[in-house]
Amino acid sequence: MKRALFQWSGGKDSSFALFKAMKEWNIEGLFTSLSAEFKRISMHGVREELLDLQAESIGLPLHKMFLEEDATHDTYDRELAVHLKPFVNDGIKDLILGDIYLEDLRKYREDQMGAIGLTCNFPLWGGDTHQLFKDFVDAGFKAVTVAVNDELGDKFIGRTLDMDFYNELPDGVDPCGEKGEFHTFVYDGPIFSKPIPFKIGDKLVREYNYKDADGNHIHSKFHFCDLEMK
């Protein structure tokens, strides 16, 4: 089987993509970016200690890239090249990711990784997100939401991903959260040798103000749930 590195987020799409990729690739390690200040997974906010337990249970080496909170896209791309080039020099030419259907994100990743010397592979690409959610649950994975947008709010933060969760999602919300509606932490499933112990900690709401690509001012709220070591 071909050698590959896996870009790991600790969430459901990442876990399900790894599950599928392990059948076709020799996965030689997981790669994750974290906040240098808070020691948490970028975007998801999951503690580094829980990330370490995931990698230990999966049985793969974990490679970390720490980024400052104010890191620009240029800084991110530069640091990514520094961290990933040694794998390319070692003969690994493929990177596997969990994206499903966002074309602009895929193109960004392919351009970004292509400049480093890596080919992107997407095991879930083009899949129906309703079916992917059901297949994820049927495969025996267990996950909990760690961040949800304001539309989902308190009702969905800290929730286990099961068919009750799926059936209660409002119309228009992607069942895999592909548009960023929610993020998850996977704590058990067929890729793990043992469940990851954790407990639900504090919940909080953060507000964000920024400009989109067209210069429009955007205001949004996200609900977060802190997972603590058990």
Beta carbons of 80 and 47 less than 8 angstroms apart: no
- Confidence (pLDDT) at 42: 84
Q: What backbone phi and psi angles, to 5 degrees, belong to 25? A: -125, 155
Give the number of other CB atoms < 10 A from CB of residue 215. 6
Whether residue 128 is predicted with pLDDT greater than 70 in this model: the reply is yes
Please state the pTM of the whole predicted model.
Answer: 0.93
**In which residue are the tokens 């240098």 written?**
36
Whether residue 70 is predicted with pLDDT greater than 90 in this model: the reply is no
Strand partners for 13:
none
- Confidence (pLDDT) at 217: 73
- The mean pLDDT of the chain is 94
Beta carbons of 220 and 150 less than 8 angstroms apart: yes
- Confidence (pLDDT) at 210: 65
- Confidence (pLDDT) at 150: 93
What is the spatial distance between Cα 111 and Cα 162, in angstroms, rounded to a whole number? 35
Show the CA angle centred on residue 203, arms to residues 200 and 209, nearest 5°: 140
- Confidence (pLDDT) at 92: 97
Give the mean pLDDT of 70-98: 93
Question: In this predicted model, what pLDDT tens digit does every residue of 169-185 receive, in sequence order?
Answer: 999 999 999 989 999 99
Give the mean pLDDT of 21-49: 94
- Confidence (pLDDT) at 72: 85
Give the mean pLDDT of 181-193: 97
* Residue 94, token pair as written in the block: 């493929």
What is the spatial distance between Cα 230 and Cα 227, in angstroms, rounded to a whole number? 9
Question: In this predicted model, what pLDDT tens digit does every residue of 200-225 receive, in sequence order?
Answer: 999 999 887 766 666 677 778 899 99
